[in-house]
Chains A and B, each alone.
Chain A
Amino acid sequence: MLTRLTGARIYDPANGVNGEVRDVWFDGTHIVAPPTDPAAAAQTFDLRGKVIMAGAIDIHSHIAGGNVNNARALLPEQHLAERARYARLPFAGAKWSAFDTGYRYAEMGFTTVVEPAVLPINASQAHAELANIPIIDKAGLAIVGNDDFLLRMLRDGGDQQQVTDYIAWTLHATRCLGVKVINAGGASSFKFNQRHLSLDDEVPMYGVTSRRILNAVQTAVVQMGIEHPVHVHCNNLGVPGNVQSALDTIEAADGLPMHLAHVQFYGYGDEGERGFSSGARALADAVNANPNITIDVGQVLFGQTVTISGDVLRQFEARGIASPAKSVIWEGEDGGGGIVPFRYRPGNFVNALQWAIGLELFLLADDPWRVFFTTDHPNGAPFTAYPELFRLLMDRDHRNHWLSKINPGAVDICLLRHLDREYDLNDIAIMTRAAPARLLGLPDRGHLGVGAIADIAVYDDLEDRSAMFARAHLLFKSGVKVVEHGRVTQVVQGLTHAVTPDFARSIEAPLGDYFDRFHMMNMSSFMLSREQLAESLGQELVLH
């Protein structure tokens, strides 16, 4: 149906449109050029006073997979329901369910979300959960870097081409869009009771350093030619003084593309009376100086949440600060992880400084095309806190209000109180639409140009930006109106995106042999076919 959206201010930075009043036209699932005769529209939405952006894209949000699901089961008290939020939509009474995830993202105008930590052996469950998340499009990043097959290759001097073939095979087997490295070698080290691993530490039994693993995977991603750069969770997450780990990792990238995830958790100095300080300036300077580096922030916002991570070293270390006092540490083939509930408190010095450091990184980084909004959901805060985060960055007074409420010791030593910068709607549109689409290699979304998918969010232009972004006035997903006045009105099934890089099939012989020798399944049981995902999960894959 040819549809005209008229009267709204358009923020479409990929096409150089910054707040001008224009029409947006779409026909069926895609955006089209305006027809010569405006009367050709089968339906017209008068959106005067509204703001239009492409559907938002979240590049890093833990929304599926065993680690997430086991966190749900661990913490029933965190998501007790009291009513169904929607009378007629499936599982709308189930807070934090796969279904609820889709509804809540859609309410805020999001249309694509990436699960960044798919452990290959758990990939089928991750896909099953993603398939049950309605409305939005999804994708996963496959975790490598603690896999015995890879570490053996590196130990035994296998050549880079073999590493690249193996990682490309892993992407096929797991049906993922990119590659994630979590504390390279860390989970393997933990299996030998080594409890810390820095970039130049060797992984026991393999004699290779974390740096070597990271470098091999990064090179593989570059050689494969997939769009999304290696997505890196650095060593020493959460440790005071760890800004040096992030700086070392940026240097180790050696000018090649690399995405550093949730860098707030690496923005820590170890200065001052309490041995904990902001490293945001040094980290932001390094990011600004290295155009090959992209970051997402992993902002902390105050309240109860749960940390869910494949960084088993970090989670094991953090188990003592769990709140409530329970945690899960687990190990599996080629990885591990942990679940540690936590409450960030504004009156707590460390938590308040974490909050400030995240905002500092946002405000000190120069290039909005290389900085991405995340809370590392749910690690820094649930994704539903994004509107509040947008407001904090767009509204200096609102930040000041918070600075007057949080731990005064943290305020005294943070940079944030000196930063006056305020984001504008164009910045938001870059960081949540145009830039993520580019980073993920999804050229038909994140913008409103002709040929783009008709994923379109319409907002009321409210002074309170938190209220504005909490509830989209309208959301179209692939041309279907799915949200009105911040409420889901129709459910559609989104797609799942994956890449299929070329690789030498000869890697399958040693891999098949490896499965027979060390796994409790044969290789074919490990691999996900497009047909079976469609047939058994009802999930259509889009291969890039």
Chain B
Amino acid sequence: MTDQADNASEPVPARTSDQVACPFCAMLCDDLSLPVHSLPGAADTLACARARAGFSAALAQRSRSPTIGGRETDWPQAVEHARTLLEASRLPLFHGLLGDLADAQGALRLAERYGGVIDHADGDAMSVNLAVYQDSGWICTSLGETRNRADLVVLIGERIDDSLPRLRERLFDVAERLHTDAPADIVTLSEDPLNTLDEVRTLLRERPLPSPSSLSVDLHERIRQCRYPVFVPLVAGQADAELIVRAAADLVRVLNEEHRAALLMMTTGAGGATAQQASTWHGGFGIRTSFAAGYPEQDLRRHAGHHLLAGDEADLLVWISTLDTNPPPPCNQPRIVIGHPATAFDDAPPDVFLPVAVPGVHRSGFIHRGDGLHMLPLQALLKSTLPGTRELVGQLLDTPAETNGSC
């Protein structure tokens, strides 16, 4: 029975060196080739700049000492100092969350214990989507469905390729799709998308529209010709972002009365979807939730991390970033960084720096794709001496990490 599985030899995911998963943007491509991870320059051949930077930094930095005020120290002292700051804080802000599930869960456990607020570095963009979602819901689809089934994809936004470098390649440059040989028609709306979406909606409803733009007329006609248009609003930072998302959601609702259409809603930053999903099953609501009252309260505006820092409402910043080497934003508050070992602080070191393992390089983990549907397993590629976030948070909570991840 050599061909049969049994309990002793059950199948386990077998990954080859050309199936390395990249956690550094929300696409989570798992087709990277990193043949000998430990060699210097192993990541140099990666085509995607974001992957190249992410892997290069993490592969090169397998160890680092914690610091207090920029000076190297030992772990017990660093942890003790961080705990002292946490205990003294009236309202700590747990921000960044540029990491995986263990990072988000660590932030949540700390926020609950120390009565703080959680937010993601991309909280502004995520909150725009969440506000529309909580108001009206939406009709949405996934990355895979867009790849396989959409016959018209409307990309809405100005900086899509910066945010998700391989989006076009992985969605559109594909050899095979489901039930069709035709490639999808791609339209990019970068100039005044709100007006175009409004006009198209009006045209679809066959209401009077004195002088629609040629772009709107063209898009309306393409929509009428297709079977499964997908609208992808990636409008972070645009002044009318919320209105654009709302207009796209409404347009999709109108289309679905008779036809099919969907939104593809993506977070773009590292760990955004994981932060939102984990915050929701822990606290009930998602990001921008405060535990200061002893129970969770979400406020998408008041609990914005930058707002709490600028207004001095938060009195301690705990920046958690295992996937990004950028330092936390400058602020007046004391700062604890639980972060990537290659984080560069220049001449402004935090009060405490606790360097931890990078998920998908130094340790295993889980992280969501930007559409939130799939949470991808990440494997450790090489050994490091860095602690995992879960273990470190256990120490900061003064409970052994081994008890379990949850309780």
Binding site for B on A (CB under 8 A): 64, 66, 69-70, 72-74, 76, 79-84, 89-91, 93-99, 121-122, 124-125, 128-129, 131-134, 148, 169, 172, 190-193, 205, 316, 322, 325-333, 339, 491-493, 500, 502-506, 508, 517-525, 527-532, 535-539, 543
Contact with A66, one of B19, B284, B372 (Cβ below 8 angstroms): B372
- B143 and A91 form a contact (CB under 8 A): no
Give B118-149 as 1s and 0s: 1 = Cβ < 8 Å from A's Cβ atoms. 00000000000010011111111111110111
Contact with B406, one of A172, A517, A532, A538 (Cβ below 8 angstroms): A538
- A524 and B13 form a contact (CB under 8 A): yes
Q: Confirm or deny: B71 has a beta carbon within 8 angstroms of a beta carbon on chain A.
A: no
A-B contact pairs, 18 of them (CB 8 A): A81-B297, A84-B294, A91-B296, A93-B295, A121-B144, A128-B278, A128-B375, A172-B11, A193-B260, A326-B136, A328-B139, A331-B141, A333-B142, A493-B404, A503-B4, A518-B176, A522-B15, A535-B364
Chain A residue nearest to B138 in the complex (CB): A328
**A residues less than 8 Å from B297 (CB atoms):** 80-81
**What total of chain B residues lie within 8 Å of the partner, measured CB to CB?**
84
Q: Confirm or deny: B376 has a beta carbon within 8 angstroms of a beta carbon on chain A.
A: yes
- A94 and B296 form a contact (CB under 8 A): yes
- B406 and A493 form a contact (CB under 8 A): yes
**B residues less than 8 Å from A93 (CB atoms):** 291, 293-296
Contact with B133, one of A73, A81, A530 (Cβ below 8 angstroms): A73
Given A82-B295, A94-B295, A538-B405 in contact, is the A128-B366 Cβ separation under 8 Å?
Answer: yes
Q: Confirm or deny: B168 has a beta carbon within 8 angstroms of a beta carbon on chain A.
A: no
Q: Confirm or deny: B262 has a beta carbon within 8 angstroms of a beta carbon on chain A.
A: yes
Q: Confirm or deny: B374 has a beta carbon within 8 angstroms of a beta carbon on chain A.
A: yes
Q: Confirm or deny: B14 has a beta carbon within 8 angstroms of a beta carbon on chain A.
A: yes
Which 8 interchain pairs have the tightest Cβ spacing?
A: A93-B295, A538-B405, A524-B13, A81-B295, A332-B142, A333-B144, A124-B375, A326-B137
- B144 and A519 form a contact (CB under 8 A): yes
- A97 and B284 form a contact (CB under 8 A): yes
Q: How far is the CB of A337 from chain B (nearest CB, A)?
A: 11
**A residues less than 8 Å from B149 (CB atoms):** 191
- A527 and B281 form a contact (CB under 8 A): no
Give B143-173 as 1s and 0s: 1 = Cβ < 8 Å from A's Cβ atoms. 1110111000000000000000000001000
**Could you tell me the distance between the alpha carbons of A367 and B67 in the complex, rounded to whole angstroms?**
68
**Best-buried of A72, A134, A190, A508 by chain B (most CB within 10 Å):** A72
Given A76-B134, A129-B281, A538-B404 in contact, is the A193-B13 Cβ separation under 8 Å?
Answer: no
**Best-buried of B102, B295, B298 by chain A (most CB within 10 Å):** B295
- A328 and B140 form a contact (CB under 8 A): yes
Given A132-B405, A522-B30 in contact, is the A543-B7 Cβ separation under 8 Å?
Answer: yes
**Could you tell me the distance between the alpha carbons of A346 and B144 in the complex, rounded to whole angstroms?**
43
Q: Confirm or deny: B365 has a beta carbon within 8 angstroms of a beta carbon on chain A.
A: yes
Q: How far is the CB of B272 from chain A (nearest CB, A)?
A: 14
- A90 and B374 form a contact (CB under 8 A): no
**Could you tell me the distance between the alpha carbons of A96 and B13 in the complex, rounded to whole angstroms?**
33
- A73 and B134 form a contact (CB under 8 A): yes
Chain B residue nearest to A523 in the complex (CB): B13
Contact with B366, one of A124, A169, A326 (Cβ below 8 angstroms): A124
Q: How far is the CB of B206 from chain A (nearest CB, A)?
A: 20
Contacts A94-B296, A527-B11 aside, 16 further interface pairs with beta carbons under 8 A come to A66-B372, A72-B285, A90-B109, A90-B112, A91-B112, A94-B282, A96-B284, A124-B375, A131-B405, A132-B406, A169-B11, A326-B135, A329-B138, A331-B145, A520-B147, A525-B21
- A536 and B101 form a contact (CB under 8 A): yes
Contact with A500, one of B10, B19, B109, B373 (Cβ below 8 angstroms): B10
- B11 and A508 form a contact (CB under 8 A): yes
Q: How far is the CB of B370 from chain A (nearest CB, A)?
A: 11
**A residues less than 8 Å from B139 (CB atoms):** 328-330
Give B353-376 as 1s and 0s: 1 = Cβ < 8 Å from A's Cβ atoms. 000000000001110110111111
Q: How far is the CB of B106 from chain A (nearest CB, A)?
A: 12
**Could you tell me the distance between the alpha carbons of A417 and B19 in the complex, rounded to whole angstroms?**
63
**B residues less than 8 Å from A506 (CB atoms):** 3
**Could you tell me the distance between the alpha carbons of A189 and B283 in the complex, rounded to whole angstroms?**
36
Contact with B296, one of A81, A339, A528 (Cβ below 8 angstroms): A81
**B residues less than 8 Å from A491 (CB atoms):** 407
Chain A residue nearest to B11 in the complex (CB): A172
Q: Confirm or deny: B175 has a beta carbon within 8 angstroms of a beta carbon on chain A.
A: yes
- B285 and A73 form a contact (CB under 8 A): yes
- A83 and B19 form a contact (CB under 8 A): no
**B residues less than 8 Å from A316 (CB atoms):** 256
**A residues less than 8 Å from B30 (CB atoms):** 521-522, 524-525
**Could you tell me the distance between the alpha carbons of A491 and B177 in the complex, rounded to whole angstroms?**
48
**Could you tell me the distance between the alpha carbons of A528 and B376 in the complex, rounded to whole angstroms?**
9
- A502 and B285 form a contact (CB under 8 A): no
**A residues less than 8 Å from B377 (CB atoms):** 124, 525, 528-529, 532, 536
**B residues less than 8 Å from A193 (CB atoms):** 227, 259-260
Chain A residue nearest to B179 in the complex (CB): A205
- B4 and A502 form a contact (CB under 8 A): yes
**A residues less than 8 Å from B4 (CB atoms):** 502-505
Give B300-329 as 1s and 0s: 1 = Cβ < 8 Å from A's Cβ atoms. 000000000000000000000000000000
- B375 and A505 form a contact (CB under 8 A): no
- A536 and B365 form a contact (CB under 8 A): yes
Q: How far is the CB of B293 from chain A (nearest CB, A)?
A: 8
**A residues less than 8 Å from B227 (CB atoms):** 193
- A330 and B140 form a contact (CB under 8 A): yes
Chain B residue nearest to A190 in the complex (CB): B260
- B10 and A72 form a contact (CB under 8 A): no
- B19 and A99 form a contact (CB under 8 A): no
**Could you tell me the distance between the alpha carbons of A339 and B134 in the complex, rounded to whole angstroms?**
12
Given A520-B147, A536-B101 in contact, is the A69-B141 Cβ separation under 8 Å?
Answer: no
Chain B residue nearest to A125 in the complex (CB): B375
Given A93-B294, A122-B374, A538-B406 in contact, is the A74-B133 Cβ separation under 8 Å?
Answer: yes
- B3 and A505 form a contact (CB under 8 A): yes
**Could you tell me the distance between the alpha carbons of A500 and B10 in the complex, rounded to whole angstroms?**
8
